[in-house]
Structure 1
Amino acid sequence: MKAVVLDSQHPDKIRLAAMNLPTLGVNEAKIKIHAAALNHRDQWCREGKYPNLTDAVVLGSDGAGVVIAVGNEVDSSWIGKEVIINPAIHWGNNSRVQDRNFRILGMPDHGTFAEYLHVDADRLHTKPEHLDFERAAALPLAGLTAYRALVYHGKVKKGDKVLITGYGGGVAQMAVQFAVAMGAEVYVNSGEKSKIDKAIAMGVKAGFDYQEASWPKQALDMSGGFDLIVDSAMGDTLSNLLDVVRPGGSIVFYGATLGNPSQLNARKVFWNQIRIQGSTMGSDQDFSDMLLFVNGKKIVPQIDSVRPLENALEAFEKMASGNQMGKLVLKV
């Protein structure tokens, strides 16, 4: 089969390879992948930013396709079904935090950037009927991460004022769609006006250019402060977030692309009783709840572009540039 694998010795650090899957395990299903979607995680693997990377592993965490075979201990009724895959492996039984054995599909396990995939059958979920394969493939990792940040940790409710930072990335876009559908009053920030305009067209009340030093004042003047902020940047932007979150509010962050904050105004945090909460992916229950919500509200993930698996390098390069607006999808 054709697959996109990590190759640290190749000039592009990835390559299209011909490979064979191992024997199907008794608890596994074989999926004919129809579409797969990139996440920043894939690009960071390409850049060598994760520990214990292994060459020749198929990248890709997000995928949708059709089950074509199952192991001896898997219900045969899965055969022929259109499915999406929960990429969170071995979360464990504690809903509050992942198990020490937790990992994400696509490294170190073979992932979705391939014609076929073997995966434990307990990772399978029926594809939402209102989504085609390309949009279904864009949902799992970003949808799960956004849902847990908003619902499990953020406890968002109708009427809450919510700020989603860094609008344009996959998780931020899903968080915006979910929060709007939940009846929250949603705001975003971004470094590009076109992305802010897109967010407003999707139901966001207003957006702020985080390159402008005055954006926190603009946000406070317009909103009066936020009940919940969902962030992926951290770094020294945390001081701005502490300025615009309401007393008693929450900042939930699922990434730290700008690194660690150089300082923390601890007095502001404890005096205003602000909660700063980290979040990663989500539990199996979070994934099931997210799918129920997506089906009920008919949420459709936003797609930047679709290209064949053979042109995966183009998608990686676009992700590296940061110019995408929606998910980058590979059609297999």
Structure 2
Amino acid sequence: MKAIVHAEQEGLTGLLLQDIDAPSIQSNMVKVKLKTAGMNRRDIAVTLRHKTDQPPLVLGSDGAGIIEEMGEQVQGFAKGDEVIINPGLGWKHTSDAPPEGFEILGLPDNGTFGEYISVPADNIVSKPDHLSWEEAGVLPLAALTAYRVLFTRGKIKPEDTVMLPGIGSGVLTFALKFAKAVGARVIVTSRHEEKLEKAKDLGADIAIPTNSDWNEELKNEKVDLLIESVGRATFDQSLSIIRKGGTIVTFGATTEDEVTINIRKFFYGQFNLLGSTMGSADEFADMLSFVEQYNIKPELDRMFSLSQYKEAFEYLKETKNFGKIGFSIG
């Protein structure tokens, strides 16, 4: 089969499109012929985390396709079923944090950027009927992350005002759609006017430049819940704009990881600072029910062929996307 593999060199220069052996299955696994696969910023990070002395690795965490083969212990599915893949391995029930041994497809196990993948049967679910193959393939990781951030960790309420600095990523476009679905007010920021306009088209109530004075722009607003994924570049502003007693949930850092907090300001403000990442299989099922209930679809930016992998990775690295991008495979 053809697959996008990382090997030989660190970083994006180690990416190759190769012919490799199709995966086999064990008794509790299914083999899926992939139709589409979604990209995440994690895929870029994996090209640095995967070492050149390790075996070649098929990248990718998100995917959707058709069951081609099943192990003898698998029940509840049949050959030919249309499924999407939950990329979280070893996290079944919702908990305060992932259990020991939790992993994500695409490192250390081979991922979805190929024509076939074999995964535990516990990690497949039926494809929602309202999603196209392209939409289903890019849904899992980002939608699950956004769901846990807003509902499990942030405990969003319909009357909340939610702020999403740096709108444009897959997770934040899902967070915007999820928050609006439950009736929350949403504020977004971006460095790009085009992304601000697109966010308003999706229902954002206020859209301001990231490099503006947030306190001046939002002097009549009270931000209850802020989803922080930028890092050092915005964290101090995030802490200054959240209402006293409000909550910041962080799930990533597209700029530098380390931030400085004025601890006196923090405890006098009675702020809540929470971390989040991915989610459990229970939350994955809840997220799918939610997107079906509200007929929510991913904000799909564009799809690439496997042979366009260099262009796709550069597109994602330069954050040109508004919403999700991915690969059309079969």
Question: What TM-score comes out, normalization by structure 1 length?
Answer: 0.94
1:308 is aligned, of 284, 305, 312, to: 305
Give identity over the alignment, percent. Answer: 38
> In the alignment, does 2:10 pair up with 1:13?
no
CA deviation digits over 1:212-269, x for unaligned, max 9?
3x133212x242x211001112225222111111111100000123234442121222
Alignment of 1:1-332 (within 5 A): 1-9=1-9, 12-46=13-47, 48-49=48-49, 54-75=54-75, 77-91=77-91, 93=93, 95-212=95-212, 214-219=213-218, 221-223=219-221, 225-235=222-232, 237-332=234-329
**One-letter code aligned to 2:37:** A
CA distance in 1, matches of 2:74, 2:162: 42
The alpha carbon displacement at 1:292 in A equals 0.5
Question: Alignment partner of 1:98: what SS?
Answer: coil
Question: Does the 8 Å CA contact 1:70/1:76 hold for their aligned counterparts?
Answer: no
Question: Alignment partner of 1:249: what SS?
Answer: strand
Per the alignment, do residues 293 and 94 of structure 1 end up closer, same or farther by CA in structure 2, a change over 3 Å counting? closer
Per the alignment, do residues 228 and 52 of structure 1 end up closer, same or farther by CA in structure 2, a change over 3 Å counting? farther
Instruction: Structure 2: give runs of 5+ residues left out of the alignment.
Output: none
CA deviation digits over 1:169-220, x for unaligned, max 9?
11111111111111100111111111011000111101111123x133212x
Question: Alignment partner of 2:285: what SS?
Answer: helix
**One-letter code aligned to 2:148:** R
Question: What TM-score comes out, normalization by structure 2 length?
Answer: 0.95
**One-letter code aligned to 2:322:** M
Instruction: Structure 1: give runs of 5+ residues left out of the alignment.
Output: none
Count of residues in correspondence between the two structures: 328
> Once superposed, what is the RMSD of the aligned Cα atoms?
1.8
Per the alignment, do residues 53 and 209 of structure 1 end up closer, same or farther by CA in structure 2, a change over 3 Å counting? farther
CA deviation digits over 1:1-42, x for unaligned, max 9?
010011233883211111113431110001010000110011
Per the alignment, do residues 21 and 96 of structure 1 end up closer, same or farther by CA in structure 2, a change over 3 Å counting? same
CA distance in 2, matches of 1:53, 1:326: 34
Per the alignment, do residues 94 and 129 of structure 1 end up closer, same or farther by CA in structure 2, a change over 3 Å counting? closer
CA distance in 2, matches of 1:78, 1:253: 39
The alpha carbon displacement at 1:49 in A equals 4.5
Question: Does the 8 Å CA contact 1:236/1:260 hold for their aligned counterparts?
Answer: no
Report which stretch shifted further, 103-112 or 309-318. Answer: 309-318
CA distance in 1, matches of 2:50, 2:247: 29
CA distance in 1, matches of 2:220, 2:53: 45
**One-letter code aligned to 1:215:** W
Question: Does the 8 Å CA contact 1:92/1:99 hold for their aligned counterparts?
Answer: no
The alpha carbon displacement at 1:79 in A equals 1.9
CA distance in 2, matches of 1:280, 1:143: 11
